[in-house]
Amino acid sequence: METVRICRLGNLPPSLFRRLYDAQVEAARVWSLCRDIHLEARRQGTRWPNRDDLQKATKGRFALHSQTVQMICHAFLANVETTRQWKRQHPQLRYPYKDKWFYPLLWPAQAIGVAPGRVVLPMGRGRRSVVLRVEVPENAGACKIVWSNGYELHVSVPVVPAEAPPGTARATADLGQIHQAAVTTDTGAALVVSGRGIRSAKRWLHQAFGEIAKQRSRCKQGSRHWRKLQRARGKVSARVERQVRDLRHKGMRKVVEFCKQHGVGRLYVGNPDGVRARSAGRHHNQRMSQWEYGRDIDYLAHKSEQSRIVCFTGTERGTSSRCPECGHRQRPKGRAWVCNNCGFRGHRDVVGSANMHPIAYGEKIEFPQRITYLRPGPVQGSGGGMKNCPRSQEPERSSCPDTGHGEGVTARLHPCCPGEFADQPPAVGSRRARASQEAGHTAEVA
């Protein structure tokens, strides 16, 4: 099993920067040739080219390492195969047809050289190798250089998975925007990971885009000041993208660690494709288009595989509108789910996660009485809205057992909950409540 480590290549010498630029242009020519050969075969109705055909057609024609050219051919064929599989469900998809001006540089594990403090990437016979002064593990695998508002080195690193699953418990995860994930287990535990840091970073990014666009509207396109603003836009976008990616990884890591602590062996993740496809106004549609739940699913599946947790996806239709106690269906309002039939009250996202158990495993569970609230991690810089908060004071756990908008939710227990008057917890917001949450990091909810 492998994972990918990303190394930012900053402050490259101008000569090396130009070499990488020219090499990416050459790699795009390899892709374009593969595209032309495949397109001609489709037009003529002849046999599509396979791996050997493309490798023979590209051999010795480009100023790149031979195995780099081969990996580009393999990537092209993988793109064609993926399009062929999805074209049955999505007829509008097209096989590769566009011209590419740049393409990432690829090297297999057997072609690279790793030394203490540097990586040697060959460029072919008669050409100098690219030497990058970065620290990578000695057992590093394939490498790729990509452009993401600056060059990055992606290194494939092998990882050792767990020997056995953490247990036999079962869990479900409901993905969202306000809360990145809400997880419930059949053992009565629940977890809510906040997604407000991601939303805050994206909101700040859009405000920065608006300010840059306002200044750029007064400039002539292509002028020196216009190009300066364009570089600033790319720099801001890259920084926020790295922040969001970091928070998403940390949030999914919290979910996997929670599952390991509670002995979860199977994890069901709801796929919100139906919610995203529904049109609900331009503002809501914009929020939905910015929701990168596909990456959350991929991150969660990869991290679960490392821990030997079986992770699978499925529908979540109707889980957010059904009461977990009486089954009454209604449209939810607000962050607290209140049933108009039986008076049940609970966390809205936890309700959706709990209702996935009958869909995934065919069994109904009791609504969790203990919910752990976590933040994925601190957000650095002005993009996260915490620029005046020192790192040592940036909390990773939420100090409020609710969503932060209401008061006294823990005191309003559902009548069916045992011990309603025996050991009633303190009201939310009181000193005793905050002290207990900071010590135990959990909250009693209905």
pLDDT of residue 378: 80
Burial of 300 (0-12, 13-18, 19+ CB in 10 A): buried
What's the pLDDT band for 288 if we cut at 50, 70, 90?
confident
pLDDT digits (tens, 9 = 90+) for 293-303: 999 999 999 99
Query: In Å, what is the CA distance from 63 to each residue of 67, 68, 110?
Result: 12, 10, 19
Tell me the whole-structure pTM to 2 decimals. Answer: 0.79
Q: Is the pLDDT of residue 218 over 70?
A: yes
H or E element, residue 32: helix 14-44
CA triple 398-393-395, angle to 5 deg: 15
What integer pLDDT is reported at residue 444 of this predicted model? 37
Beta-bridge partner residues of 374: 193, 397
pLDDT digits (tens, 9 = 90+) for 131-157: 999 998 888 899 999 998 889 999 999
Round to whole Å and give the CA distance between 134 and 118.
5
pLDDT above 90: percentage of residues in the chain: 70
Read off the pLDDT of each residue in 337-355 and give the average, rounded to a whole number.
93
CA 359 to chain centre: 24
Element at 113 (helix H, strand E): strand 113-115
Q: Is the pLDDT of residue 434 over 70?
A: no
Two tokens at 140?
């590093």
151, two tokens: 């060059």
CA–CA gap between residue 299 and residue 328 (Å, rounded): 34
**414 versus 118: which is more confidently predicted?**
118
What average pLDDT does the structure give for the chain? 85
Using DSSP, state whether 5 is helix, strand or coil.
strand
Of 118-132, 196-210, 378-392, the range with the lowest mean pLDDT is 378-392
Number of residues that make up the chain: 446
Query: What percent of the chain has a predicted confidence (pLDDT) above 70?
Result: 85
Q: Which residue has the higher pLDDT, 25 or 272?
A: 25
Rounded to whole angstroms, the Cα distance separating 116 from 150 reads 24
How confident is the model over 414-430, as a mean pLDDT?
A: 37
Q: Which letter does DSSP use for residue 164 in this model? A: S
Q: Is 219 a residue whose pLDDT tops 70?
A: yes
Element (H, E) at 3: strand 2-8
Please say if the pLDDT value at position 442 is more than 50.
Answer: no
Average pLDDT over residues 396-414: 39
8 Å CB contact between 286 and 177: no
CB atoms within 10 A of CB 179: 24
| CB 267, CB 310: distance < 8 Å | yes
